[in-house]
Structure 1
Amino acid sequence: MRFRPSYVVVAVIVAAIFAYLLVRPLLGLGDKAAQAQAKAAAASAGALPLVQVSDTPEARHDYTVAFRGRTQAARTVVVRSETAGVVAAAPILQGRFVRAGTVLCRLAVDARAAALDEMRANLEAKKLKMQASASLASRGFRSKTQVLTDQADLDAASATLRQAQVALRQVNIVAPFAGVFDHRDAEVGTYLAPGQSCGTMIELDPLLVVGDVPETDVGKIRVGAGATAKLVSGEVIGGRVRFAAHDADPTTRTYRVEVTAANRGGRAASGLSADVRIGAGVGAAHFVPVSTLVLDAAGRQGVRYVGPGGVVAFAPVTVLEETARGVWISGLHGDTRVITVGQSYVSEGQRVRVATGPGLAAGA
């Protein structure tokens, strides 16, 4: 029987494959391929993660405490009447700047002037009587007791005159200090009893800038420290700390801080928002991109850096100042290789491969 050529070809190919499979183990070809695969897998499994770092030098930096505050009048006083009467004149419009002693409300004099004239006349009469009494006593015609009685009458008349003079002056209700007559409470024709308000005065020079700082910052603030406040208008005013509370607000656990600043002519009003910065000394700091800040497992803010041996470490930090290109932080020591790329994908104690990236110019 004759075989077709195609069958012969197929039989030869099958025999060759069978022979290869028998010979392959003897030649060690399968072991080499498996070893190569195993080595590749081992190399892949053992590769260290790659991070980018920035060599960040330690620098001296002015520490500042920053907080959001508001302007406030240094003094706010309700100016009240000391005597009773009807307002006869109200010469100052509310909102005007006035000097100390300026009349804000003038009460009607009524009978006060006549009473003053009467007291003056009575005092003159008592003086004449006292002179006559002293003359008689010197000649033995008047007793010492009578002389003392006449002297007491003279002193009483003098005191009554002074009271009448004070009562007449009190018809003028005046500004107790230089400032803005911010609000009028009494108009012409208003009857004021003692203690009732003519209006409200506020002192805007110096101006107060007040705010609340957290407990982590209050210990850095000293009375007399220099400060600046940037108002919503863009104007920056300088001043000094006059008060830092030692007792926290029970609700917010923050501490009140007051800064006094010159405010010539009362340019800045009370109640404006302000960004306040208070100098807190000079110390070591590092300038890093804001993106390097991460949180550890405990929720603390910090940065990850590469230490000796390529091991990742974490350092809790405090942000001292923010700029357009980065932040000044404290908490690192010496020159540090801060991780700038990959910091969120590695953990403390892990070894890494390092690629060096560009650094930041301090304070840029």
Structure 2
Amino acid sequence: MRIKSQYLFVIVVMGAVVLYFVVRSLFSLGAPHTAQAKTAVQAGSPSVQAELVPQVVRPYDVVIRGRTQATRTVVVRSETAGVVAETPVLQGGFVRQGQVLCRLAVDARQAALDQARAALRSMQLAQQQNEQLAKQGFRAPTQVLQGQANLDAASAGVRQAEIALAQVNIKAPFAGVFDHRDAEVGSYLSPGQSCGTVIEIDPLLVVGDVPETQAASIRVGAPATARLVSGETLSGRIRYVSHDADPQTRTYHLEMTLPNPRADVRSGLSAEMHVGAGSGPAHLVPVSSLVLDSAGRQGVRYVLADGRVGFSPVTVLEETKDGVWVTGLSGQVELITVGQSYVADGQKVRVALAR
């Protein structure tokens, strides 16, 4: 019996399909082992991205939060008692050294001075007469010496009266700003009471506290800059670093001096100080590459020559828009930039250079 051609075609197609599935099932017996082996390889050697970071020589800056401060602040006090008769300087105005800030009423001080001067003239005449009579033998040497003592006492009385009169003028001890007035016209001042406060803001100080870990790297005379809250950056030098730490904060007080000839920078402004502390090797790394190890140290992970992961603790020198400058690495390093948080020290990795 002959088989029709259309049936023969169907039988051939069905046979081919059956053969395909039989062959596929035979080859798929080893597939799970292959997949497991591949997964094991991937688990043992994870893939990370890395980039080569060169070592450069860079100036080191110690960054400190601080504030501007007047170089000198003095409360100007009265040396004598009296009623305030005049306040010629407005509060907040600039003053010269020796300029009168408060003037007390003269009262009887001028009369006391006139009396002392008259007594001095009388003693001068008496002493002249004693000297002439002594030459003629009518005065003993002791009488001449007594007359000279009286003359000296009268001269001292004049000086005392002059000082008392001058003390009615309460003057600025140095050039600066009459920042605050405490006495008004009609106020009575006793000796030691305040007329007002004078501050010196040229030069101006920027003060702060440096941690004990960085204090040794700062020297008197080191260049420094201060960035104010207004965005203005001023340059100066370190004039003082304390040698005794604050017992509470374990920090050392630091003072930077900078010129302020126009007095346009006020005292009490917040500032960020950058103090030069020499130069040395540094690396510029992305902020995202910083990680913590099991001991809580901040550092970076990199790829060693044998393809394993290494870790090095670093110290951040400065943060910039391009990354952070750090110390603690040596030479050019292959820094892990992607996957650094998912690998362990000494682990073998497959490296793909960062794009």
TM-score, normalised with respect to structure 1: 0.87
Return the alpha-carbon distance in structure 2 between the equivalents of residues 257 and 131 of structure 1. 64
Out of 331-340 and 45-54, give the one that drifted further: 45-54
What is the CA-CA distance between 1:275 and the residue it aligns to?
A: 1.4
Return the alpha-carbon distance in structure 1 between the equivalents of residues 310 and 29 of structure 2. 39
Q: Provide the secondary structure at the position in 1 that maps to 2:306.
A: helix
Q: What's the CA shift string for 1:22-52, capped at 9, x where partnerless?
A: xx9xxxx97x765553344223212311111
Look up the match of 2:240: 243
Out of 42-51 and 60-69, give the one that drifted further: 42-51
Which of residues 151, 158, 161 is equivalent to 2:158?
Answer: 161
Look up the match of 2:293: 296
Q: What's the CA shift string for 1:85-113, capped at 9, x where partnerless?
A: 11110111101111111100001111111
Look up the match of 1:107: 104
Task: Say whether residues 1:41 and 2:52 are aligned partners.
Answer: no
Look up the match of 1:339: 336
Q: Provide the secondary structure at the position in 2 that maps to 1:264.
A: coil
Look up the match of 1:63: 60
Q: What's the CA shift string for 1:177-236, capped at 9, x where partnerless?
A: 111101111111111111110001111111111112222221211111111111111221
Task: Say whether residues 1:286 and 2:283 are aligned partners.
Answer: yes
Identity %: 63
Aligned pairs for 1:118-267 within 5 A:
118-267=115-264
What is the CA-CA distance between 1:152 and the residue it aligns to?
A: 1.0
Look up the match of 1:312: 309
Matched AA of 1:283: G
Q: Provide the secondary structure at the position in 2 that maps to 1:95.
A: coil
What is the CA-CA distance between 1:345 and the residue it aligns to?
A: 0.4
Look up the match of 2:318: 321
What is the CA-CA distance between 1:123 and the residue it aligns to?
A: 0.9
Look up the match of 1:21: none
Task: Say whether residues 1:349 and 2:331 are aligned partners.
Answer: no
Return the alpha-carbon distance in structure 1 between the equivalents of residues 36 and 306 of structure 2. 25
Q: What's the CA shift string for 1:123-151, capped at 9, x where partnerless?
A: 11111111111222222221111111111
In structure 2, the gaps of 5 or more residues are: 1-21
Which of residues 58, 66, 69 is equivalent to 1:72?
Answer: 69
What is the CA-CA distance between 1:265 and the residue it aligns to?
A: 2.3
Matched AA of 2:39: S
Return the alpha-carbon distance in structure 2 between the equivalents of residues 354 and 245 of structure 1. 50
Return the alpha-carbon distance in structure 2 between the equivalents of residues 325 and 147 of structure 1. 91
Q: Provide the secondary structure at the position in 2 that maps to 1:55.
A: strand
Q: What's the CA shift string for 1:209-267, capped at 9, x where partnerless?
A: 11122222212111111111111112211111111122222222222211111112210
Matched AA of 1:278: V
Q: Provide the secondary structure at the position in 2 that maps to 1:308.
A: coil
In the TM superposition, structure 1's runs of 4+ consecutive aligned residues that sit over 6 Å from their partners are: none
Look up the match of 1:14: none
Matched AA of 1:267: D
Return the alpha-carbon distance in structure 2 between the equivalents of residues 299 and 144 of structure 1. 94
Return the alpha-carbon distance in structure 2 between the equivalents of residues 161 and 167 of structure 1. 10
Q: Provide the secondary structure at the position in 1 that maps to 2:214.
A: helix
Return the alpha-carbon distance in structure 2 between the equivalents of residues 51 and 244 of structure 1. 46
In structure 1, the gaps of 5 or more residues are: 1-23, 359-364
Q: Provide the secondary structure at the position in 2 that maps to 1:60.
A: strand
Q: Provide the secondary structure at the position in 2 that maps to 1:250.
A: coil
Provide the aligned length of Structure 1 versus Structure 2. 332
TM-score, normalised with respect to structure 2: 0.90
Out of 200-209 and 140-149, give the one that drifted further: 140-149
